[in-house]
Amino acid sequence: MSKCEICGEPMPPGEEMFKFHGYSSQCPKPPLPIPPTVNWKERAEAAEQRVAALESGYARELSIHAELQQKLTGYKEAFQREHAMRLLEAQIKAAPEPLYVVFDGPPSHDAGRFVEVETIDGKGVSVGKWEEQVDGLWRLGPFYASPTAPEQEPKP
Ligand SMILES: [Zn+2]
């Protein structure tokens, strides 16, 4: 049903094609209140403010995210360093201690006499035991070669 655009009442039968009363009669009612005009400028400004608030919130989230990411990277690096340190400590603990057989002179026909077996820093250690062999020679031992011991330098 068509309505009059001035008063809002239905148009009388046969006049539905018109936009407002006036052909057969005047408007039966006073004109409709004029709808408040939309303040587009205000709306646009409010929308801009909302967009700005969202953007600043997003920027803040981004910066928090970046900060957390940086912390996480720091933790990962610290964890890796500690892991590497523990591995190194374990390797040091597992590494065989180098030992030296000490004589009081250089090798020759009249070889130096055996003094002791020492650690790298000169502490005497008790390793193996002296035994007389059936051939009359004496031996000290046993010593065990370790597969992780550093390779001997080739002789010149
Ligand atoms: Zn009317």
How many whole angstroms from 35 Cα to the centroid of ligand 1?
16
How many whole angstroms from 40 Cα to the centroid of ligand 1?
29
Span 3-21, pLDDT tens digits: 998 888 999 888 889 989 9
Q: CA-CA distance, 126 to 99, in Å (whole number)?
A: 11
**How sure is the predictor about 58, in pLDDT bands with cuts at 50, 70 and 90?**
very high
Find the mean pLDDT for residues 48-61.
Answer: 96
Question: What string of DSSP letters covers 96-122?
Answer: PPPEEEEESS-SSTTPPPEEEEEETTS
How many whole angstroms from 36 Cα to the centroid of ligand 1?
20
How many whole angstroms from 33 Cα to the centroid of ligand 1?
13
Q: What is the pTM of this model?
A: 0.38
Are the C-beta atoms of residues 31 and 7 closer than 8 Å to each other?
yes
Per domain, the residue ranges of the chain are 1-35, 36-95, 99-141
**How sure is the predictor about 45, in pLDDT bands with cuts at 50, 70 and 90?**
very high
How many whole angstroms from 39 Cα to the centroid of ligand 1?
28
